[in-house]
Structure 1
Amino acid sequence: MKNNEIGEAIQNDFLKNVSDVLRQAKKNAKTAVNLSMVYAYYEIGRMIVEEEQHGTNRAAYGKQLLKELSAYLTDIFGKGFSTTNLKQMRQFYIAYANDQISQTLSDQFETLPTVSTGRKFFLSWSHYLKLMRIDNIDERHFYEIESVKNDWSLSELKRQYNSALYERLALSTDKDKVYQLALEGQKVETPKDAVKDPYVLEFLGLKELPEYSESELESRIIDHLQQFLLELGTGFAFIGRQVRFTFDEEHFMVDLVFYNRLLRCFVLFDLKIGELKHQDIGQMQMYVNYYDRKVKLEDENKTIGIVLCRDKNNAVVEMTLPEDNSQIFASKYETVLPKKEDLKKLLEERIVAEDGGEDD
């Protein structure tokens, strides 16, 4: 490389680095402004509620109050203070006035101010407009925590809510850990914590196809890898597709290989478009054994294997796997968003059944 080319490359890096600093500063400033408005809207909501309580005919007084306040603020500040928006601020205060979020999360943001109850806010107003419509407080806390931890955009928050992530995780864990979802969000400490059942892959667009092959499923996942990683959850990094290894002069291919940095282990995926068979589990067991014995380092944890299938018989899975299994999992995948109400009902029925069993 010539000297002038080297100098040009260095200059380009310098220019890019300076522009990156400014972009980050603008992003931080925008975030600070958005958070300031969230706190302001909470305070406005509080003032509206307290003022409404002074009226003798609260319904009529409140309606007139919002109308007058809207006209007054619009005249001074312009758009953004319609009666609808003011009603949302009032609803925001009512939803969060007696609401406390995880202290752990609050401690991570020491510099943020608190409202009179000690509550802090971490997300944009648009996020809270979505969150405050979630009636279940535990579920609302879960999505707030996950949005903060994973830096979810509003569209990603909506997608995770619509895919019933809270119910899916709750159904995939034991009852005692369900409450932890509201306190700490999803914690990945054991192999089972990293597995969902079902996985929702509506972003692949496969519902439009009357039939498809396993290679088509794999290709769609690779084409939408960023969304697939978000669906997998925290800590996953993509290693490769159709990763080949040779054993006893035979060649084998693992459909998808990931690494989870929280669990410090490889995570292997085998894709099946039909119903799971016991041979599929046996094949995954061989893949996992190979990675444990030939690939993973001594200080890394045991490999996890997930057979992702369109359908499965839980009895077959339980009979095929050892009772102390902690490495091989079989999960269904859905190509359309599940009905959130159906999953809620399943979760409620399971909790009732478990509580009934304890009473006996």
Structure 2
Amino acid sequence: MANAQRSHVAQYTALITFVVIVFSSFYPFTDWVYSGQPLLEFVSYPLPYYFRLFDNAVNFLIYLPLGFALALTCRHRLWGWLLAVVLSVLVSFLVEFGQQFLPMRVSSNLDMLYNMAGAVLGATLAVSPGFRRVWHSVWQRRQRYFRHESMADYAVVLIVVWFVTQLDPSIPLFGVVVRPIGLPQPFISPMANPMLFLLLVEAGGVMLNLTAFLLFITTFLASRRYTARAITIALVLAWFLKVLAAGTLLKPMAFFEWINQYVMTGLSAGFLLVWLVTRFGQKLQAVVALLALLGTQALVALWPLARSDADMLSLFRWHYGHLANMNALVAFLSQLWPYAACVVLAGLLWQSAGSKQPQA
């Protein structure tokens, strides 16, 4: 329990949730302009000034984990609850204040009320005795299945974030590049067979991404006996999220957009590579995961085809304007994840090397 109390997963979760809120609220961060209206006028708008059911649901749900995580950053329940509510309200106010300078956004006091309601519910759940017991059970599992190094806290949060990156069903399963739809795009191939070049890059990206993610998980496991279980859960959950997202968001004719023969080839090769590497120690697994992450970025740089967001959105049947923002958020997290994972793996290797140095 002592190790669990010193863990910083709640702080990291709150930070990531804050980043998600800021990104989704201000994307695409362009066309800033001052309308000339009083800056605090939105606070006194008559209710409901601007009402959309989807907007209200999102405003409520996105602040729920923020309030929950912030409340857990403080050991004292009352102070934790107050801290979560005050900081969440402050974040909500600053977001609505800033949206006044974006022509495509609407500053709304109703949004602030829904934000506050979500934060209050999240904070209340976090400090309630029932959820405290649930959270304690979660921490026990974290302590049981993952290593006790401080880097493991970062790893646990990044593992959850990776699954969020799979919520765009137009991106292939474990894919790092996307074949665009529409007219063929001319490109210069470094190989005599351009189709073989595309196959190798697409399948290679899937192989390296699968290898990097699974080895990232196994590197931080507390015992090798959990390896098969962790890999199985990760693969099943990734597949389930893709199927769920495709069934919810894509048109029927595009349901299998996230899987093809190149993806299957990459998954097969990656699974074989993971099976071989996990025969060795966790230090080697961390090194291979780090190299695989760097390899995915190299293949992204080699990919010659450009994805058109307008064409890709035509695959979706969800007509809410937030769809573009959601996909942009997923793309942002997908681009950020490899670098964050590299930092965590490098930090773990640095800690391992330092712990083996002889004492003076």
Report the TM-score, using the length of structure 2 for normalisation.
0.26
More helix by share: 2
